[in-house]
Amino acid sequence: MAQVVKASEEDLGWLYPGEAVEAAAQRWQRHSGGLVVLTRGPAGVSAWTATGRVGRAAEPVPVVDTVGAGDSFAGGLLDGLYRIGGLHPGGPGALRVDELDTVLAFAARVAAVTCSRPGADPPYRRELDLA
């Protein structure tokens, strides 16, 4: 069972045609007990843990290219989880809502920078606001 799952709205729509993507994501979370993150492109992101749900709007940027946005988001998600000590067994599913919101904000920032330039060109750490 995975402790961190990131899927796009398109992924879940393909896997479960006719089912609400939120219902599928919540079911995955209940079965795994971990963290399930649902990306929705310009509509933002939703995530579920055992402690609750967090929704976050996409960071507005002039979009040049979306290639690599999902992978960049996933990398930012894992980096954010690592930086708060949330990658230990059982950790992702036990995140507090405020911790999860911080991690999602960082991952969304990484994806936004990637979308703001051509090609799959994720940002360097020095390009991100890590305050």
The per-residue pLDDT for range 25-41, each reduced to its tens digit, is: 999 999 999 999 999 99
Distances (CA, A) of 55 to 1, 64, 121: 24, 25, 26
Look up the pTM and report it: 0.92
* DSSP conformational letter for 129: -
Q: Is the pLDDT of residue 131 over 60?
A: no
The per-residue pLDDT for range 4-22, each reduced to its tens digit, is: 999 999 999 999 999 999 9
- The pLDDT value recorded for residue 2 is 86
The per-residue pLDDT for range 78-127, each reduced to its tens digit, is: 999 999 999 998 899 999 999 999 999 999 999 999 999 999 999 998 88
Q: Is the pLDDT of residue 74 over 70?
A: yes
Please spell the DSSP secondary structure of 59-100, one letter per residue. PP---S--TTHHHHHHHHHHHHHHHTT--STTTGGG--HHHH
Set out the domains of the chain in order of their start, with CATH numbers: 4-127 (3.40.1190.20)
d(CA 8, CA 23): 13
d(CA 124, CA 4): 23
- The pLDDT value recorded for residue 17 is 97
